[in-house]
Amino acid sequence: MTISGDNPLCSRVLGGVEMTVLCKPAVQVPENVLTMEEALSIAGRLHRHHRELPLVLRLIGNTGVRKRHFLQPIEKTLEHPGFQARNELFLSAAKQQVPQVVEQALAHAELEADQIDLIVFVSCTGFSMPSLTAWMINKMGFRPETRQLPIAQLGCAAGGAAINRAHDFCTAHPGSNALIVACEFCSLCYQPTDVGVGQLLSNGLFGDAVAAAVLRGDDEGVGVRLERNASYLIPHTEDWISYAVRATGFHFQLDKRVPKTMKPLAPVLQRLARQHQRDPARLDFYIIHAGGPRILDDLSQFLEVPSHAFRHSRATLTEFGNIASAVVLDALRRLFDDGGARPGGSGIIAGFGPGITAEMSMGSWTGTPSTTTQGENLP
């Protein structure tokens, strides 16, 4: 396993108002790696008779993904033992990997498990009832009074939603601390019988990862002080990104119009920044969901910001692929590793997903991070 992240983010009180600050995320990816070259070779072999294979290979090649990490070796990933077996694997892998990431995130925030008041757990690639939050409380030292908020149906937008709901909670309960966990094993949603162009493109785009971060409710530390959040749903687009739930599990469905959604969403992001008295084209950092290069390219154009502004999101896409709800946490982790922003510098965090839903927050950088350590290897 590989785990990345180091350094706390905390909270401030300004003008008598509790200001919660997001702590540096910890991110872990499985050890099985699939390169772009290998993905193209596999797609060419498995779908050599597909009438639109040249288009599929071109689309996959244009994703900008250099490599992805999978829970299982590619030979096992391509098998389908059934929905039950896959969901059981999701749960067993989550119970093995989530504790390591959570412990690292708590360490970054300089907190213990019994100091957490809310756990927000997000995933769109596996299911359990009760949620894994119950297992975490029983096994990891969280108090029985800890609130639980599992989110299962917001897909890639859930990372932004988790940040926003944790922010809402900490604002409503001053001094409280919240933990966010995103557990996405997208490889378990591979469906060998789905051969539509959108499905084959997704096979070359998504990867696996677990991420966690803490929102701390005191006045010490370094990080992004969360100050405002918002949600927006593009009307009448609920079938553009969806799951068909069948006997074989979750079948991802992607409409070809999805890459064009940044045109209606860019004004929403601009409006949020202006409500916060900030120029949306001159923010200090942009932590944006990396659904694909077209999303980032279009948003860069519509917001009138240079492509370099989205470098952290692009790095996540290049090195890990689209890791669903974990993208925004990994991109934020990369901002820390890059030295953060100038003290007081403003920025935006945004996740996009089914609905079409946008979950957005504005914040400012507080403090200067110490030297971070990247790529710490775990057994």
Backbone φ and ψ for 193, nearest 5 degrees, come out as: -90, -10
Residue (of 205, 202, 152, 218) closest to 181 by Cα position: 152
* Dihedral angle over CA of 244, 248, 250, 252, nearest 10: -70
| Predicted TM-score (pTM) of this structure | 0.91
Q: Which of 156, 170, 183, 189 is catalytic?
A: 156
pLDDT value for 259: 83
- Residue 254, pLDDT score: 84
Give the Cα separation of 106 and 253 in Å (integer): 36
Output the CA angle 340-208-231, nearest 5 degrees: 60
pLDDT tens sequence for the chain (379 residues): 545 544 433 333 343 345 788 999 999 999 999 999 999 999 999 999 999 999 999 999 999 999 999 999 999 999 999 999 999 999 999 999 999 999 999 999 999 999 999 999 999 999 999 999 999 999 999 999 999 999 999 999 999 999 999 999 999 999 999 999 999 999 999 999 998 888 888 899 999 999 999 999 876 667 899 999 999 999 999 999 888 899 999 998 888 888 889 999 999 999 999 999 999 999 999 999 988 899 999 999 999 999 999 999 999 999 999 999 999 999 999 999 999 999 999 999 999 999 999 999 999 998 765 444 434 433 3
Q: Would you call 186 a catalytic residue per the annotation?
A: no
Residue-level pLDDT at 366: 87
Position 222 scores a pLDDT of 79
What is the number of alpha carbons within 13 Å of residue 181 lying toward its C-beta? Answer: 25
For residue 375, the model assigns a pLDDT of: 40
Alpha-carbon distances of 117 from 9, 11, 293, rounded to whole Å: 17, 15, 37
Cross-strand pairs, 214: 179
